[in-house]
Amino acid sequence: MVLLRHPTAVLALISSLLLSPAVQAASLESVLADQANLTMFRGLVKNTVQETLKYHILKGTIDMPSIVKGDSIWAATTLTDRNYSTVTGGQHLILTKQPGGEVVFTSGFATRGTVVVEDLQFDSGLVQITDSVMHVPETLESTARNAYKDLAAFVGALYATDLYDEVAGWEDVTIFAPRNAAFQQLAGTFAAMDRDDLRRVLRYHVVPGRLSHVWELRNASALASADGGTEVAITRQANSIFVNSAEIIQPDILLANGVAHLIDNVLDPGQPDARPDFSLTTQQPPVFTPLGTATATGANVPTPFASNLPCTPSCVGGTRATAAPTGSGGADSSNAGGALPRCTGLAGAGLGIGLAVGAIMAGF
């Protein structure tokens, strides 16, 4: 990996975006200039990464020692443009202090990195230097396509039932998204289910207006779902967290409009009282009755609804070549009104090319 050293170019861009008083920029510059490896380069001068830069600037000062070992906190950033994020108060990232004391950030697309230089002071706050660049959280669709392929069945089912835009339009959502295998196991059941029932099932997995990271899901609490407020119940047991009887297997997938937690079973709004059986040493059984011949799971088994994901340039010739593009950073006709946060794929692409090492989180 090539390291380039052009801190002045970086600072010029940051200051034009965010630090209008020249005196602040100069002070920040003098702090950063001492950091030999703090470098970001060509890609940064493109407009498309301005959102990424805003995402690297935190609102409020957070000093790393204040985070308790083993704890996670979330931090709001200056990325408030509603074309990119509809998280109240600014798009956010997660900071976790490991038992060993180092601080790890989590950003979109499961991008993680470690703070390598902590709490550099400048006259308006602190700078944290990280070993990799953060990725602005993207739409559910883009996240399923590009980062979490295990979301394909769930997101495809939202498209198949014309619910995707509704879910992507909700703000501050918490989504409990069943992984592909959960849908594979119940392929016959969903094939036999009528559209309205399937819409109810899918809406039951979404909690609008209440962004809950995994550490905010308290034992024995309940969250009102988009299925008419029918609640989902949280149960914590040792290190496991269950939603009804489904276990969270991948927490805190950051999205443009909230957060998703991947779960291992499909939830049934008709059985809100389902709870995990702790005597089982295996995965909890599905709450739905599997219909048809028992279906296998795995990468070689067809994923229900996956073909309903809209097509992109990379799958031209696929079954939905005419579907409205809702992601991948292209012209976004379905979001023309600006109501839905769009995919920030352009920024992501710029990162891969232009940035290699070193990111800034600066607090005001």
Ligand X SMILES: *[C@@H]1O[C@H](CO)[C@@H](O)[C@H](O)[C@H]1NC(C)=O
Residues that bind ligand X (CB under 6 A): 3, 36-37, 81, 83, 219-220, 235-237, 338
64 and 27 in contact (C-beta within 8 Å)?
Answer: no
Closer residue to ligand X in complex, CB, 161/235? 235
Q: Which CA distances in Å does 4 have to 34, 88, 114, 194, 347?
A: 15, 36, 20, 57, 20
Smallest gap from Cβ 251 to ligand X, in A, equals 17
In the complex with ligand X, the residue whose CB is nearer, 64 or 291, is 64
Q: How far is the CB of 196 from ligand X (least distance, A)?
A: 33
Q: Which is nearer to ligand X, 36 or 294 (CB)?
A: 36
> How far apart are the C-alpha atoms of 206 and 224, rounded to whole Å?
9
CB 229 within 8 A of CB 251: no
> Rounded to the nearest whole angstrom, what is the least distance from the CB of residue 195 to ligand X in the complex?
31
Shortest distance (Å) from residue 47 CB to ligand X: 10
Quick check: 40 and 355 in contact, CB under 8 A? yes
Smallest distance, ligand X to C-beta of residue 86, A: 12
Amino acid at 126: L
Residue 237 CB, shortest distance to ligand X, in Å, is 6
Amino acid letter, 264: D
CB of 150 to ligand X, least distance (A): 27
Nearest distance in Å: CB 288, ligand X:
24
- By beta-carbon proximity to ligand X, the closer residue of 303 and 335 is 335
User: Pairing state of beta strands 359-363 and 258-263?
Assistant: unpaired
* Residue closer to ligand X (CB basis): 36 or 68: 36
Nearer residue to ligand X within complex by CB, 36 or 299? 36
**Residue 147 or 246 with smaller CB distance to ligand X:** 246
**How are strands ordered across the β-sheet holding 258-263?**
206-207, 173-178, 258-263, 246-255, 240-243, 231-237, 222-224
Nearer to ligand X, 101 or 302 (CB): 101
- Output the smallest distance, CB 200 to ligand X, in A: 26
d(CA 331, CA 335): 9
Buried b (16+ CB within 10 A) or exposed e, 220-242: eeebebbbeebbbbbbeeeeebb
Beta strands in the chain (DSSP E): 57-58, 72-76, 92-97, 103-106, 112-122, 125-130, 173-178, 206-207, 222-224, 231-237, 240-243, 246-255, 258-263, 359-363
3-state helix, strand, coil in the chain (%, to 5): 30, 20, 50
| Nearer to ligand X (CB atom), residue 103 or residue 151 | 103
159 in Cβ contact with 309 (< 8 Å): yes
